[in-house]
Amino acid sequence: MTKKVVLPPQEGKPSDVEEMKAASNYLRGTLEQSMQDELTSGIPDLDNRLMKFHGSYLQDDRDQRLERERKKLEPAYQFMVRLRMPAGVATSKQWLKLDELADKYGNGSIKLTTRQTIQFHGILKWNMKKHMQEINSVLLDTIAACGDVNRNVMCNANPYQSNLHREVSDIASQISQHLLPRTNAYYEIWLDHEKVVDTQEEQEPIYGALYLPRKFKIGIAVPPANDVDVFSQDIGLIAVVEKDELIGFNVAIGGGMGMTHGDTKTYPQLARVIGFVAKEKIVDVCEKIMTVQRD
Amino acid sequence: MLEVNNSPFNEKQVQQLNELLATLTTQQKIWLTGFLSASVASGTVVEVPKATQGEAAPIATNEPVSKNITILYGSQTGNAQKLAENFGEQLKNVGFDVTVQSMSDFKTNGLKKLQYLLVIASTHGEGEPPDNAISFHSFLHGKRAPKLEHVKFAVLSLGDSSYEYFCQTGKDFDAQLEKLGAERIVERVDCDLDYAEPAEKWFEAVKEKLQGDSSVQLSHQEATATVLQETVTYNRKNPFSAEIIEKINLNAEGSNKETIHLELSLENSGITFEPGDSLAIIPINNENLVHSLISALKFDATTNVVIDGESITLEEALTKVLEITLLTKPLMRKLADYTENKEFHKLISDEESVKAYIFGRDLLDVVETFGPFKWDAQSFVNLLRKMPARQYSISSSLSAYPEEVHVTVGVVRYEVDERERLGVCSTYIADQLEVGDKVQVYIQQNPNFRLPNDETPIIMIGPGTGVAPFRSFIQEREERGATGENWLFFGDQHFVTDFLYQKEWLDYLKSGVLTKMDVAFSRDQPEKVYVQHKMLKRSAELYEWLERGAVVYVCGDKGMAKDVEATLLQIIEKEGNKTEEEAKEYIEKLRSEKRYQRDVY
């Protein structure tokens, strides 16, 4: 029998980020009001932390900082907006919309990220809502693209390579969908959905009110390719095929593990394979592993 | 600082004393203290003049009761007011019974009791009366105006001949008083920017008439000197040379605007001012323009010309002394005497076309287009008027920045006939001056744009450079620890590049000095949004502030001011459930209570 190791509880009180999350009423905070404040193109720091869960955060043009300070102007604030795009797939219609939005509200650039998604830069506060709504108009969103949640789920880039690749790509989407925050905040703030007055714990059955301590990453590799760098993920899944049929995944755990630079108690680990899971159970297993990080 | 409420002195005395005290060395103060105590002790009481306004001292007892002279002024920048007070003082000194009042303070039922009425009125914008003359002006022109056959009057008008409706308000009063049956004792005088001398002549004529008129009671007192007393040490003729200590273009890269924040040192000048006052800056003409003009005239730059009895080179005269950038109808008519060019005579024979031509054009255009001219350098310069100083609302408070004055200058550049035109003073500041340079300035008081007491809430509407005096207001209120609420409406073209003093406003909001702020950026969305739209959005709250006694200030472009007034009417109608007529009365009441003050250009 293996010996059960109990980790000592964390010392000290919860970090201020946790307090902020707890007070945010499931990622709402004062974001809505802050976005409507016409006197500044920025938002307060606390709201900016919440903003990450909505797939965006505030930046400013560093080159202009000193000059604007002298001119008695606030920094040139603008937002970065990152999509949630499991397996990095966009339809041609979606792509054309993204291309349009880059010029319409952004600074003309579309950045492809190392986690198979896309981000825009230079979005002004007054355009944020329209930008988000137009992204949603082609059935894309930005939920959980940043922040302390499960991030964009990666896998092979081309679902049309084989039936197997298509099936794995679908599973990536299912995992992404299952691990999405359930709060209605995103829809209220950006898409004008009606406010749901509900502060029960049930609102986030997986995450709870504090979400995760750090970001969480999942990637799936279909051998022989290791395009997602599977052992660098928090959960690395390696597809197992028998008679041309996907039967499940070898599961590896490790990854960045929420490492904080300069804090030697935190460190990344190359992921280690801990066993095989049938494909029908893989979504549930990912959830359970993630809740270990949560706790 | 002495104030009316912390000393036994009246407003004028306080002002004079403050000005004087600021210039005194410690030695001089000690000496003065001794001198005054000694005079009191020895029984030689240093005479303290009585409060002047509205008080009439009976002077001669053995003669018939003296009769009333009423001096009413309509003043925007305070010049007419200063003249009225000065003349009133002088008439009092020679024994007349004088009342000096702002038209807005004058009760129209007093018209029936008037005997002698002296009107001193400036003209605002396109021939409109200044704010404190509006209601009296419309009353006199309305159905309720009484017959004034018992009144003898004279009108002095102040104006700027570069405007088409030069001195219109004075002309209106002059004509209307006659129409109502009043008798003119002296012909009206219309004064241009250099008003002191013609105003003085008018006054001499008036005084002579009054003294010669047997129906007027004179005292035995000798007339005192009737020289205009300047209340400020520095003026147009004797400006202060102020060093530039900071110069910043407030607009960020990519803006269509260029707005210069200029900080000047007043060190050792003793100059004081109040929030609401303006700084007059005497500019120098653009060197390239002067050279182009001289070469188009085919004159020699080194030729000497005589101006005010002083001989200087033509170049210097055109650079520093004379105005060469502004065309006016009177100037166009004078120029016509020197050319036989048919096109030119055709142009000036039609009011509309000459008006369209002079807009945005300058002397160089005329000289280049309508020659040949038969003139020499002297006769040419004789046609030109002196360079007027440009006035900018002061954007700092002396208590926040002692011995400094800040202004906020919108830079004017535009193109006509493929030549770039430069605003004389604004580009002089933007292009010719750097930190460390000196600039000629003096204070232009603006008694009709003043903060109320510290408890009263204020609403400030100032888009563009119109925000300048409100920076001064807020600084002053912060320094004084004023408890009255402050609400600012600001607007410009673009949020990112044109939000003048943004960081300061955000700080004031955070500290609570500024209670509320609403902004309108006209070009950040397809439809144009201006300050008046933001006012409408806050309609209910704005009216609630008015009902609580708030004072409304409007500063900036006159087109804007018109829209803002229309919006105010709309808000009062809607929120106060009033008819249009009642809303107008409401505004007039605000005006007469000095709760609606404007500084409009």
Computed over every residue of chain B, the mean pLDDT equals 87
For position B16, what pLDDT does the model report? Answer: 80
| CA neighbor of A179 nearest in space, from A60, A55, A291 | A291
Give the pLDDT confidence score for residue B57 in this predicted structure. 40
Lowest mean pLDDT among B211-215, B478-482, B487-491, B510-514: B211-215
- Mean pLDDT of the residues in chain A: 89
Q: Which of B502, B504, B522 to mutate to test the interface with A (most CBs of A within 10 A)?
A: B502
Chain B nearest-CA residue for A67: B252
* Lowest pLDDT segment from A37-41, B88-92, B275-279, B302-306: B88-92
Q: pLDDT exceeding 90 applies to what percent of chain B?
A: 66
Mean pLDDT, residues B502-525: 95
pLDDT band at A265 (very low <50, low <70, confident <90, very high): confident
Instruction: Say if A6 is an interface residue toward chain B (CB within 8 Å).
Output: no
Q: Which CATH number fits domain B240-282+389-444: 3.40.50.300, 2.40.30.10, 3.40.190.10, 3.30.830.10?
A: 2.40.30.10
pLDDT at B125: 77
Distance between B402 CA and the closest CA of chain A, angstroms: 21
CB-based contacts of B116, cutoff 8 Å, min separation 6: B67, B68, B69, B70, B151, B152, B153, B185, B210, B216
Domain ranges of chain B: 68-228, 240-282+389-444, 287-382, 458-600
Say if A43 is an interface residue toward chain B (CB within 8 Å).
no
Q: Determine whether the interchain pair A40/B506 forms a contact, defined as Cβ–Cβ distance below 8 Å.
A: yes
* A137 in B contact zone (CB under 8 Å): no
B396-450 pLDDT per residue, tens: 999 999 999 999 999 999 999 999 999 999 999 999 999 999 999 999 999 999 9
Subunit contact B503:A74, Cβ cutoff 8 A: yes
Is residue B47 over pLDDT 60?
no
Categorize the per-residue pLDDT at B105 as very low, low, confident or very high, splitting at 50, 70 and 90. Answer: confident
The whole-angstrom separation of Cα B544 and Cα B103 is 28
Residue B517 at interface with chain A, using a CB cutoff of 8 Å = yes
Cβ of A74 within 8 Å of Cβ of B524? The answer is no
Cα separation, B350 vs B358, in Å, equals 12
Shortest alpha-carbon distance between residue B252 and chain A (Å): 7
- By CA distance, what is B517's nearest residue in A? A39
Preceding omega of A224 cis (within 30 degrees of 0)? yes
Please identify, in words, the CATH class of the domain defined by B287-382.
Answer: mainly alpha
End-to-end CA distance of chain A: 24
pLDDT for B67 equals 67
Cα separation of B597 and B584, whole Å?
15
Position A257 confidence tier, pLDDT thresholds 50, 70, 90: low
Binning pLDDT at 50, 70 and 90, where does residue B44 land?
Answer: very low
* Closest Cα in chain B, distance from residue A22 (Å): 26
Chain-chain contact of A124 with B248 (C-beta, under 8 angstroms): no
In chain B, residues 233-292 whose CB comes closer than 8 Å to chain A: 248-253, 261
Could A74 and B502 be called an inter-chain contact, meaning their C-beta atoms sit closer than 8 Å? yes
pLDDT digits (tens, 9 = 90+) for B199-214: 999 999 998 888 876 5
Are B240-282+389-444 and B287-382 in the same CATH fold?
no
Per-residue pLDDT reduced to its tens digit, B232-274 = 479 888 999 999 999 999 999 999 999 999 999 999 899 999 9
Residue-wise DSSP of B68-93: EEEEEEE-SSSHHHHHHHHHHHHHHH
pTM (predicted TM-score): 0.75
Q: Do A70 and B248 touch (CB under 8 A)?
A: yes
- Complex ipTM above 0.90? no
- Predicted pLDDT of residue B52: 40
pLDDT at A199 over 60: no
B5 contact partners, CB below 8 Å, separation of at least 6: none
Q: How far apart are CA B599 and CA B601, in angstroms?
A: 7
Cβ contact, residue pair B248, A74, below 8 Å: no
B488 touches chain A (CB under 8 A): no
Closest partner residue to B502 (CB to CB) among A70, A73, A126 is A73
**Contacts of residue A284, Cβ cutoff 8 Å, sequence gap at least 6:** none
Band of residue A20 on the pLDDT scale cut at 50, 70, 90: confident
Question: Closest partner residue to A38 among B250, B503, B519, by Cβ?
Answer: B519
What pLDDT sits at residue B221?
39
pLDDT digits (tens, 9 = 90+) for A158-183: 999 999 999 999 999 999 999 999 88
Write down the pLDDT at residue B63.
Answer: 42
- CB contact (8 A) between residue B506 and residue A68: no
B411 touches B464 (CB < 8 A): no
Question: Which of B599, B240, B186, B548 has the alpha carbon at shortest distance from B392?
Answer: B599
> What's B68-228's CATH class?
alpha beta
**Candidate from B250, B496, B509 with C-beta closest to A72:** B250
For A30-74, how does the pLDDT look when each residue is reduced to its tens digit (9 = 90+)? Answer: 999 999 999 999 999 999 999 999 999 999 988 898 899 999 999
Kindly report, residue by residue over A133-150, the tens digit of the pLDDT.
999 999 999 999 999 999
Long-range contacts of B361-364 (CB under 8 A, 24+ apart): B361/B327, B361/B416, B361/B417, B362/B289, B362/B324, B362/B325, B362/B326, B362/B327, B362/B421, B363/B293, B363/B324, B363/B325, B363/B327, B364/B289, B364/B292, B364/B293, B364/B296, B364/B324
Q: Which residues of B touch A124 (CB under 8 A)?
A: 496
Measured distance CA(A143)–CA(A27) in Å, rounded? 11
Enumerate residues 19 to 38 of chain A having a beta carbon within 8 A of any beta carbon in chain B.
38
Q: For residue A149, is it left (φ>0), alpha (ψ between -120 and 50) or beta? A: beta
Tens-digit pLDDT profile for residues B342-360: 999 999 899 899 999 999 9
Model pLDDT, residue A2: 58
Per-residue pLDDT, A17? 80
Burial classification of residue B308, based on how many CB atoms lie within 10 Å of its CB (0-12 exposed, 13-18 middle, 19 or more buried): exposed
Determine whether the interchain pair A73/B499 forms a contact, defined as Cβ–Cβ distance below 8 Å.
yes
What's domain B458-600's architecture?
Answer: 3-Layer(aba) Sandwich (3.40)
Residues of B in contact with A41 (CB under 8 A): 495-496
Residue B522 touches chain A, beta carbons under 8 Å? no
Confidence class for position B483, pLDDT limits 50, 70, 90: very high
Report residue A127 as tokens: 């355009």
- C-beta of residue B370 within 8 angstroms of C-beta of residue B201: no
Query: How does pLDDT run across B280-296, given as a tens digit for each residue?
Result: 999 999 999 999 999 99
Q: What is the mean pLDDT of residues B63-79?
A: 78
A34, A36, A37, A39: best to mutate for the B interface, most B CBs within 10 A: A39
